Structure 1
Amino acid sequence: MVDGVFYLEESPVHGYRLLYSTKNRFGNTNELAVFHMTGRGIETVEDPSAFFLAGRCNAPGSAVLCSYQGSSPFIAEIQALINTSSFQYPRRQVTGLELNRAYLIIAILERYLGLKLSTCDVFLNVAGGIRISEPGSDLAAAAAVISSYRKKTMPKDMVFTGEIGLGGEVRGVSRLEERIKKAENLGFQSVVLPAGGALYRGKKIKVIEVGHISQLGELLAKN
């Protein structure tokens, strides 16, 4: 019997340290803290979202998600790269996301948007070396795949949050208002979220509702 289980990992970006909690009798599980080494020792990164977005370039296959890790919302970048495969069995390489959820997203995009991903190698990565397990990352992952497949960039100031069901429907996520506020505070101009999310209206951020994955495809075709 233990009170807590924590993992301290080194991020591939600039030697940062990522502290995950998977069990904690005295607080939330799935918490994430970011640290970096200085001349004074290891210090806390006060705004992990800025760290996760550092060095981001607005290229095809880049999408920003607003997720929840433990008790705090954070912003991160999901990257996708889609290439025509030269192998009999196309490659599927996923880093930072749950592999099975990535498979579901690929299948849903093929079924409802007609993307011919069965003949393509698909690479998905969460920038910064973090791991995301919550379903709220589905919409951003799908947007990144669509963007790379179509070789078309998205607005750099757009952020995504939402779960995708097997029928292609976009489902709600917890603590939606806090996610939107986080994106708004970081200067994002629009947020794409599940239908019904427009009940929250930010002061400056534009709320865009999508009820089905087909609507996401139409939205990204316009931008």
Structure 2
Amino acid sequence: MLTWDDFITGSVESTCAYTKWGIFLAKKRTIYVCESCGYESPRWFGRCPSCGEWNTAKHLAIEPEKGSEFERLEPIPIIEVPDTETERIPTGFVELDRILGGGIVPGSVVLIGGEPGIGKSTLMMQVSASLASKGNVYYVSGEESAAQLKSRAGRLKALRENLYLSPDPTVDRVMKNFSSPLLVVFDSLQTMRVSTTETLPGSVSQVRDSVMKVMEMAKRKGVAIFLVGHVTKEGQIAGPKLVEHLVDVVIYFEGEQREELRVLRTVKNRFGPSGEVALFEMTDTGLKEITNPSAILPSELSGAPGVAFGVTVEGTRPICIEIQALVSKTQFGAPRRTALGVDPARLTVLSAVLARHLKLPLEYRDIYVGVMGGLRITDPTTDLSLAGAILSSFFDIPLPPATSLIGEIGLDGGVRASSSFSKRLKVAGSSGFKRVWGPEASDGAVGIELVRIDHVRELGRLLTSLAREG
């Protein structure tokens, strides 16, 4: 039962309608939603009880339910559900189709996030132009005018008759104006809005209601939809975490703006494997896919001290990488550990392992490491190549040319092989490497020399022997 205190505190908002029965109160429920994890609470909270983040509670007013637009469906036995094979839609990019699981699934909602200027809109315009040859495609933008979008399409050679532009990001109005679309692109998530939600675009309630409207349209009409979202400084897609739970596919667009290399990484995929990556190159005429990962390596597989090569596996795809390290005397009280493209905690642990087992004074050295090309790696089997780059810089000794280092290093200094070690060996051989340093593999006969390393002490001895020979 409502009391006067409910209206004073603002926990219940109301709209009054006079009828012959008196005053009818339509309740509008107020909740607070955590931006990080989507946790909901009827009361404000400083620290989220679910994820532990501070100051993430955002006010959200929920409209009274007016009944669902969906037909009422009765539960049916799973064995009685008819089998349907949905034909996927090619995007025009073989690599993008691969990480999507074979193409775009009609009725799916794909969220692609990345930093501003990384190339999200460029990719979406190229995909839209490719699909416009098969049907109607609508590109909805709340950030650019129709003239700006046409200029971009002209530069990308993406002018198509069936490609329609809309500068109005109001979801419910856009849905009424569509005519049998094959694909709809909303650019961006932070500018989308629903006319019945009385908050600013980008707010928690607007983003939530917009995505739910889009999901409803996709499932009811079988329309494929792409949502473009920006990321925060922490690298997460801006907006409530609930959005990533609702959509079918989440893709992150990674890379350095000053570098040509771009990486698409799937972190969620209901229609295929997650964790897959696709490589692209940014050019003056748009994005071009890189089907051969070895193309990102330098032509000469040798370098100066501090340069090492390895093989990482992203999803199911092995990729050869180049790691560079710089070890110098610290100029401050505490040594610095700076990592680009590598987990800083992993670098700290690996530095401690090398200092402990090789008796190196790394506590008096600053260590800087980076993965070339703007790649970000989390694969522990790249530990040996990372350690090789650090030791190469510390001893000022270049590693032998055409040598790849593959192996995971434990806290005891032992080097271990992964389950995909033989696959990495084959990729290293096909990429031009003549030898591999790493633990013994069960089937190491791949046409390259395998130098066995079972402990970081053996890696140190190899480098010191190279120093004596030099």
Please indicate the TM-score interval, normalised by the length of the shorter structure.
over 0.9
1:66 is aligned, of 308, 311, 319, to 311
**Residues 154 and 55 (structure 1 numbering): CA distance in 2 closer, same or farther, change over 3 Å?**
closer
1:16 is matched with which residue?
A: 261
TM-superposition CA deviations, 1:147-206 (whole Å, max 9, x none): 000001011210011100000011121211111111111111100112x31632112x10
SS state at 1:199 partner: coil
SS state at 1:167 partner: coil
Q: Using the alignment, how far apart are the partners of 1:198 and 1:221 within structure 2?
A: 28
Q: Using the alignment, how far apart are the partners of 2:392 and 2:258 within structure 1?
A: 24
TM-superposition CA deviations, 1:33-73 (whole Å, max 9, x none): 11123465322112123214468761100000011011111
Shift of 1:216: 1.1
1:50 is matched with which residue?
A: 295
1:35 is matched with which residue?
A: 280
2:247 is matched with which residue?
A: 2
Runs (4 or more) in structure 1 with deviation over 6 Å come to none
Shift of 1:208: 1.2
Q: Using the alignment, how far apart are the partners of 1:93 and 1:26 within structure 2?
A: 37
**Residues 122 and 38 (structure 1 numbering): CA distance in 2 closer, same or farther, change over 3 Å?**
closer
2:445 is matched with which residue?
A: 201
**Larger deviation, residues 18-27 vs 115-124:** 18-27
Q: Is the 8 A contact 1:81 1:124 kept in 2?
A: yes
2:413 is aligned, of 146, 168, 173, to 168
**Residues 33 and 54 (structure 1 numbering): CA distance in 2 closer, same or farther, change over 3 Å?**
farther
- Percent identity between the aligned chains? 36
| Unpaired runs of at least 5, structure 2 | 1-245
Q: Is the 8 A contact 1:12 1:129 kept in 2?
A: no
1:133 is matched with which residue?
A: 378
Shift of 1:220: 2.1
Letter in 1 for 2:349: L
Note the 1:96-111 alignment, pairs <5 A.
96-111=341-356
Relative contact order higher in (CA < 8 Å, ≥ 6 apart) = 1
SS state at 2:305 partner: coil
SS state at 2:418 partner: coil
Shift of 1:221: 2.1
Q: Is the 8 A contact 1:161 1:192 kept in 2?
A: yes
**Residues 38 and 82 (structure 1 numbering): CA distance in 2 closer, same or farther, change over 3 Å?**
closer
Q: Using the alignment, how far apart are the partners of 2:465 and 2:288 within structure 1?
A: 43
**Residues 207 and 72 (structure 1 numbering): CA distance in 2 closer, same or farther, change over 3 Å?**
same
TM-score normalised by the chain length of structure 2 = 0.45
1:179 is matched with which residue?
A: 424
1:113 is matched with which residue?
A: 358
SS state at 2:363 partner: helix
SS state at 1:128 partner: helix
TM-superposition CA deviations, 1:120-143 (whole Å, max 9, x none): 111010011110001001000001
Structure with the higher fraction of residues in strand conformation: 1
Q: Using the alignment, how far apart are the partners of 1:218 and 1:138 within structure 2?
A: 17
Q: Using the alignment, how far apart are the partners of 2:377 and 2:282 within structure 1?
A: 24
Q: Is the 8 A contact 1:64 1:77 kept in 2?
A: yes
Letter in 1 for 2:456: I
Q: Is the 8 A contact 1:53 1:75 kept in 2?
A: no
SS state at 2:422 partner: helix
**Residues 86 and 66 (structure 1 numbering): CA distance in 2 closer, same or farther, change over 3 Å?**
same
Q: Using the alignment, how far apart are the partners of 2:265 and 2:344 within structure 1?
A: 19
Q: Using the alignment, how far apart are the partners of 1:96 and 1:71 within structure 2?
A: 20
TM-score normalised by the chain length of structure 1 = 0.92
